[in-house]
């Protein structure tokens, strides 16, 4: 028996209600799809949150550490330091903005090295050391400023490194932290028996042997005398003392190394940068020391495997990572995509 079919009304389309006469077929949202008005409980137009966001603060089961893209907003840190994420962030930002960083490093190295070479050839070693220190301070100020700006944005032009540099506070705070660190580590170094025994052995060297080692007319005799001197010194003790001093300096970094970021970021004056840097480093000591250990290991591995060719270049990504650690522990502004 032939089925009777109802003729299709004008402007009626298959799969849509018949009471939609007069509406464009594109005005109807198929079932199962949402509209911008349906997205987000707060009416923000955002897509619904993924599972776990309401209970875990947006972390979910897994989120990789990511860097921000241009135009992404900055948000206030919750005070949590992410050591591994900060290290990855530093390298990501460095490679995305590698040309300005390489320009700063190469120009500074060429200027300092070339100037020192000229002064050494002309006998001006003391002047060369002074100029080298000035250049080092200048470059440190510029790189610190650039690192903080690189936390804010993935691209920072070469000229931006030199803008809004907080010169005097950075220099004073940097010298203060270096003096405190040097006083503690060097003081402990020379208090250790290994270092004291080494110094005593150097003082008790045979003057005739020392004079023979300085003989410029008979190179073979001078070489033999030098080898005798080196073999007689207690190297084991001095190396052990050096390792202890290095480890002590590493343990002090969370308390001393971040003062300068507070000054460079115009966060506080000289006294405020020192006190805030020390207090925040102390409160976040376990996370910051973990970051410093990882940074030291990465620096060592990259330097050794590159035969120290890349030793100078590893400074930049580590500095960017430290800038992010500073922003995290000080509850400063960090990229919105940084997972904490």
Establish if 12 belongs to a structural domain. no
Cα–Cα distances in Å, from 316 out to 32, 148, 297? 50, 11, 15
Higher pLDDT, 263 or 124: 263
Establish if 193 belongs to a structural domain. yes
Residue 134 has pLDDT above 80, yes or no: yes
Establish if 208 belongs to a structural domain. yes
Rounded average pLDDT over 311-330: 96
CA 140 – CA 145 distance, rounded (Å): 9
Higher pLDDT, 152 or 31: 152
CA 316 – CA 164 distance, rounded (Å): 19
Res 153: pLDDT: 93
Rounded average pLDDT over 206-225: 86
Task: Write phi, then psi, for 243 (nearest 5 degrees).
Answer: -65, -45
Note the pLDDT tens digit of each residue in 49-83.
434 434 334 444 333 333 444 556 899 999 999 99
Nearest to 251 by CA among 209, 282, 211: 282
Rounded average pLDDT over 174-182: 96
Token duo for residue 38: 């349906």
Rounded average pLDDT over 260-269: 96
Of 6-15, 79-88, 286-295, 299-308, the range with the lowest mean pLDDT is 6-15
Establish if 152 belongs to a structural domain. yes
Domain range spanning residue 270? 77-327
Rounded average pLDDT over 241-259: 97
Residue 258 has pLDDT above 80, yes or no: yes
DSSP-derived 3-state class of residue 183: helix
Residue 339 has pLDDT above 80, yes or no: no
Angle, helices 315-329/125-152, rounded to nearest 10 degrees: 50
Establish if 257 belongs to a structural domain. yes
Note the pLDDT tens digit of each residue in 149-170.
999 999 999 999 999 999 999 9
Of 5-19, 91-105, 226-240, the range with the lowest mean pLDDT is 5-19
Residue 43 has pLDDT above 50, yes or no: no
Residue 31 has pLDDT above 50, yes or no: no
Establish if 304 belongs to a structural domain. yes
Q: Say what the pTM is.
A: 0.74
Q: How confident is the model at residue 316 (pLDDT cuts 50, 70, 90)?
A: very high
Res 59: pLDDT: 40
Counting the structural domains of the chain, the total is 1
Residue 118 has pLDDT above 80, yes or no: no
Nearest to 256 by CA among 338, 178, 198, 169: 178
Residue 203 has pLDDT above 50, yes or no: yes
Residue 97 has pLDDT above 60, yes or no: yes
Of 29-33, 182-186, 262-266, the range with the lowest mean pLDDT is 29-33
Q: Please state the length of the chain.
A: 340
Establish if 146 belongs to a structural domain. yes
Establish if 46 belongs to a structural domain. no
Higher pLDDT, 11 or 328: 328
Rounded average pLDDT over 131-139: 84
To which H or E segment does residue 96 belong?
helix 83-96
- Bridge partners, residue 74, by sequence: 335
């Amino acid at each position: 028996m032939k089925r009777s079919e109802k003729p299709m009304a004008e402007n009626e389309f298959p799969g849509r209600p018949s009471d939609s006469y007069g509406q464009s077929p594109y005005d109807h949202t198929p079932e199962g799809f949402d509209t911008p008005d349906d997205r987000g409980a707060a009416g923000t137009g955002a897509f619904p949150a993924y599972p776990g966001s309401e209970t875990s603060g947006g972390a979910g089961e897994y989120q990789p550490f990511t860097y921000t893209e241009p135009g992404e907003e900055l948000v206030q840190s919750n005070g949590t330091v992410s050591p591994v994420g900060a290290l990855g962030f530093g390298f990501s930002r460095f490679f995305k903005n590698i040309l300005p960083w390489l320009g700063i490093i190469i120009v500074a190295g060429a200027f300092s090295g070339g100037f020192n070479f000229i002064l050494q050839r002309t006998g001006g070693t003391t002047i060369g050391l002074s100029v080298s220190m000035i250049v080092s301070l200048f470059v440190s100020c510029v790189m610190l400023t650039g690192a903080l700006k690189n936390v804010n944005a993935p691209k920072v032009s070469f000229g931006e490194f030199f803008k809004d540099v907080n010169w005097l506070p950075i220099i004073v705070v940097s010298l203060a932290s270096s003096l405190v660190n040097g006083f503690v580590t060097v003081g402990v170094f020379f208090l250790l028996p290994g270092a004291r025994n080494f110094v005593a052995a150097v003082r008790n060297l045979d003057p005739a042997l020392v004079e023979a080692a300085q003989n410029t007319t008979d190179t073979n005799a001078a070489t033999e005398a030098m080898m005798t001197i080196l073999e007689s010194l207690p190297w084991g003790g001095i190396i052990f003392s050096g390792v202890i001093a290095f480890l002590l300096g590493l343990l002090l970094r969370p308390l001393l190394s971040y003062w300068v970021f507070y000054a460079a970021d115009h966060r506080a004056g000289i006294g405020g940068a020192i006190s805030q840097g020390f207090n925040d480093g102390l409160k976040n000591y376990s996370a910051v020391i973990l970051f410093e250990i990882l940074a030291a290991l990465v620096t060592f591995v990259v330097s050794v495997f590159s035969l120290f060719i890349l030793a100078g270049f590893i400074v930049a990504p580590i500095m960017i990572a430290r800038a992010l650690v500073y922003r995290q522990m000080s509850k400063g502004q960090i990229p919105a995509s940084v997972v904490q």
